[in-house]
A and B are shown apart, each in its own frame.
Chain A
Amino acid sequence: MRCLFVFRHSPWDGSRGAESLDLLLTLAAFDQEVAVLLLDDGVWHLHPGQSPGVLGLRDLSALWRNLPLYGIGASPWVEDESLRARGLQDGDLSIPVRRIQRKRLVAFWNRFDVILRD
């Protein structure tokens, strides 16, 4: 089963990020082929130098950096427009990513059997 997991919310949106990553890693642990796409505020997940502990949130950055250890070897996809709107470039991110343009997303969805989201 080819799965796409879409993150559209910032990492400081309560426990949303932690619980979404739990589901993402469970999918991978059960040998599902999972790709990750970061859209909108989801791109902030890969912005380095955050202090989630200040907000009482779990630090997810190590999980993101170690996705290959959990069976998600391919780099996440990041939407160009979402990065640009936030003044970010892929060089600013904590791990290597693949870029995709918004106009290509509709065709992109069709590659997957199921789409999950945060």
Chain B
Amino acid sequence: MNEPQTPAEASRFLSYTLQVNASPYGGEAADLAYGFARALVKKGHRLKRVFFYRDGVYHALAGAMPPADETCRIARWSELARVHGVDLVVCSAAAQRRGVWNPEAEAELAPGFRVAGLALLVESIVESDRLLIFG
């Protein structure tokens, strides 16, 4: 967890929302998003939410098993959520479109991910100091 901060210390940091549009294995953008998110929490900045949209919703697929000598691009986000309490949100419409989530089948998402609508992204953007879009 982050070190506790006094209000004066906390005010030195900005709050961030990250929008991840890139699929986990499609290129550099998803790696940059993860690296940026990890750097934010390690430095004590406020990462309000990571919102996975468009092909970014593939990050929430459960059961990914890449070869042992390769970093799992899904598990590392789950780990970030578990250790630092980062809110990982997958867009419901985009996830349904791609079969990542189905409200009727109760399909399981990767650990640490939850489903919500675009309204939550808008709320996040309004309440954060910065929005960064990856992919």
Question: Which residues does A use to contact B, with CB under 8 Å?
Answer: 1, 3, 15-16, 19, 22-23, 26-27, 29-30, 32, 114, 116-117
Q: Is B42 an interface residue (CB 8 A)?
A: no
Cα distance, A3 to B131, chains bound together (Å): 11
Q: Is the CB of B122 within 8 A of A15?
A: no
The count of chain B contact residues (Cβ–Cβ below 8 Å) is 15
B114 contacts the other chain (CB 8 A): no
| Chain B interface, DSSP helix/strand/loop, else mixed | helix
A-B contact number at CB 8 A: 35
CA distance A19 to B51 in the complex (A): 14
Closest to B54 in A: A19
Q: Encode contact with A along B67-89: 1 for CB under 8 Å, 0 otherwise.
A: 00000000000000000000000
Contact of B118 among A3, A15, A22 (CB under 8 A): A22
Most buried by A among B53, B121, B126: B126
User: A23 to B121, Cβ gap below 8 A?
Assistant: yes
Q: Are B54 and A32 in contact (CB under 8 A)?
A: no
Cβ of B8 under 8 Å from chain A: no
Q: From the candidates B54, B97, B119, B131, name the one contacting A26 in the complex (CB within 8 A).
A: B119
Instruction: Tell me whether B97 and A23 are in contact (CB under 8 A).
Output: no
Contacts of A22 in B (CB 8 A): 93, 118
Instruction: Find A16's partner among B54, B118, B119 (CB 8 Å cutoff).
Output: B54
Residues of A within 8 A of B117 (CB): 26
Q: Is the CB of A1 within 8 A of B126?
A: yes
Q: Is A19 touching B53 in the complex (CB atoms < 8 A)?
A: yes
B125 in the interface (beta carbon within 8 A): yes
